[in-house]
Amino acid sequence: MAKLNQIIAVEKGVKSKSHQDLTAAHHGLQKPALLAGMSRTYQPKDEEGEQLPPESTRVQVKAEDVLRETAATLTRLFDVTATKDWANCTARADVKVEGRTLLGQVPVSYLLFLEKQLTDVQTFIRKLPVLDASESWVQDPSTDAWKTEPVRTVRTKKVPRNHVKAEATDKHPAQVDVYYEDVPVGYWTTVKFSGALPARRVNELLDRVEKLQQAVKFAREEANGAEVTDERVGEVVFGYLFG
């Protein structure tokens, strides 16, 4: 008795071969010359007339033969696919993470769905915003966000100052340069807030999704190892269609 994973392994090849055979049969039937035959003999008007040999062309393609061959090819495809689909209705396995059954008796089709969705979830988690590692963050219950410790900085203001390069004389005015000096005028106290996640939290989420992905793959392999009953539907279908 075959196993489901063996049926899945051969299904692609059977599909490919049946497609090629069906295409070849279709093209063959589209060539009237291959379906046509002819036989003719020649008789002169009198005994002195020219004698010509008989001519004939054999029929190379017979539609009934093509129907038979096509039915045989497609019967294999119909049977293999039916065997897989029937088995998929009963093949199930538990999804276990670290010894705990997370999901019980999950059908193969849903395990395949889970695999794809978990890949998308993993991509989503990898793109989550992470807190700036150069800052020290603590949780703030009042805003339900992360915040830094207050940082005090000085606010300065540029104040003009005069620098006398030369004192005034009775002949020349004083030579004065104007420059600006930064003078403290106050203090800023800054607290930064963020809705991002700590790197530790993101890594924890990635670890969880990877464990679940592995568990789903194990479950799928287990379910695909179930023994299957060969279904014989192709003969019934084509017995009706081409009979």
- Model pLDDT for residues 151-187, shown as the tens digit of each residue: 999 999 999 888 877 777 777 787 878 888 999 999 9
Q: What is the pTM of this model?
A: 0.67
Q: Look-up: residue for tokens 């008989």?
A: 54
3-state SS, residue 64: helix
pLDDT band at 243 (very low <50, low <70, confident <90, very high): confident
3-state secondary structure of 228: coil
What's the CA gap between 199 and 57, in Å, rounded? 81
| Rounded Cα gap, residues 39 and 22, in angstroms | 31
Read off the pLDDT band of 38 (50, 70, 90). confident
pLDDT attached to residue 1: 66
- The CA distance from 113 to 126, in Å, is 20
Q: Would the pLDDT of 87 be above 80? A: yes
Say whether pLDDT at 206 is over 90.
yes
Residue 81 pLDDT > 90:
yes
* Contact criterion met (CB below 8 Å) for 182 and 211: no
Furthest C-alpha separation in the chain = 157
3-class state of residue 138 by DSSP? strand
Q: What is the DSSP letter of 130?
A: B
Is the pLDDT at 76 greater than 80? The verdict is: yes
The helix/strand/coil state of 93 is strand
- Report the percentage of the chain scoring pLDDT > 70: 100
Q: What is the mean pLDDT of the chain?
A: 90
Q: Which of residues 93 and 229 earns the better pLDDT score?
A: 93
Residue 237, pLDDT above cutoff 90: yes
pLDDT at 113: 94
Sequence letter at residue 201: R
Confidence at residue 59, expressed as pLDDT on a 0 to 100 scale: 79
In total, the chain counts a number of residues equal to 243
pLDDT of the residue at 37: 87
Query: Residue 47 has what pLDDT?
Result: 82
